[in-house]
Structure 1
Amino acid sequence: MNIIDIQLDRILPPRIQPRLDPADPGIQELAASIERHGLLSPLTVTPDGDDYRLLAGNRRLQALRSIGKTHADCNVIQPTTFDPGEITLAENLIRLNLSPVEEAYAFALHLEHTGETQDDLAQRLGQERTYVTRRLLLLDLDDITLGSLQEGIISLSQALLLRRIEAPDVRERFIEHAQTYGANVRTMQYWISNYEKEQARAKAAGDDAQPAAAFEAPRQTFMACDRCGKATAYDLLRPQYCCPDCRMKLLANRALEEAKK
């Protein structure tokens, strides 16, 4: 990783991410976190003439500027992933067998240097647009989360769920629990939803937000039974082997039972 200190004035805005509202409370919270702990994850840029074009970290860049920072550590990615004159992008991807994280950087570089849209890229790859979008969304995550995805500790879907958590130290705590206790996508979603509810409750009550170190994942995750709706320990639930018609009947019966309560 090539980390150098770069003036923020030399960092051009990304072409593939939407503009962010500086009044977004999420950016304000991120700015407060940077003031307290510093920039925990560098921005990712690529050379663009005498300056640099931002590839990842749009929210972090906005937060840095909002608190008057003039420099930031940046991970500089050189645009040498593909040789357009050699073979096609799709062939490069097949040949390189890239991970989702590597694909994210490769897609960002390709879109940056060709000016294509995500739809254009998806068509070139023979994939749905969501395939490209989901990987580009990874670029706003910190290095610890991306490293955990790269090492197989969490999945792509779990990494995207963790985007809902602003603070990198809280995301790291979730990853630790996933590694310790094991967690599929539904379990991770359950943990994050509970955390968000607790944070919202604390904010409404005027309490301080729960620090990352205080978060403990439930040792038992409870989910609703598809048949009766009863909260049941996740490890006790069993899959149902139903055809689509029977599945719809089960859901309809459950809805009727709920309506009678």
Structure 2
Amino acid sequence: MNLESNKPLYLQVEADIRNSILQKKFRSGQKLPTENELSQQYNVSKITIRKAMSNLAKEGMIQKVQGKGTFISYKKDKLLLNKARGFQDSLSNFGHSSKHKILNVSIIKADSDISQKLNIAPDTTIFFLERLIWEDAAPIAIDRIYLPEENFPNFMKNIAEDKSFYQILQDNYGIVLNKSILEINGVIATKEYAELLQCNIGDPLFHIEKIGYEKNDCPIHYSISIVRCDRVSYVVSTDNSTVMDEKIIR
């Protein structure tokens, strides 16, 4: 432990155990050392160990079994990129509860990049929606969504924290997403991202740009998602009918 760090000791212990799990030093189902053993290993009090373990349990990383000990329960969820759906639908398929908190909703003007992606004129008024997505008891992603104002009347009145974005499109506008094009890159957590996602500054994150389309290949929305790499993996399934559009690959 770094005694000169401003970071509380229990958070340092929590981060070290989490990293050990993510680096597969511990495996799913493996029993962790006891509180006494961890206390001696990290040279901290048992109260510090309990606080660290409590946070890891809330994240679903570990599970305490009465009379048997504490076990690694963490396993990354694998999200199929082939499916045109949102976080809430994807996470519920794995048995997770999902919720989102609206951070910002406003009307802005499309810049040249967004107007090109949505196939609209520059300076067209668009809705901007920013949400914090939760998986169970831990934040997993920041979602920023852009869509043309004229196509979605009363959108600001229709958004709700208990409804997914795609559910709102279907229920209020009769729109069902037909396909999506995604571009995935990697970024590191800034102070802003770390505070919202409850991770460490410098942690790796997915940066996902997505354009959703209707059946007529008309863009519905453009979004940018910042996702914790330690919570999910993205999987692409291909077969002989899969076509890679070279115009999209840069």
* Structure-2-length-normalised TM-score: 0.22
* Structure-1-length-normalised TM-score: 0.21
More helix, by proportion: 1
More strand, by proportion: 2
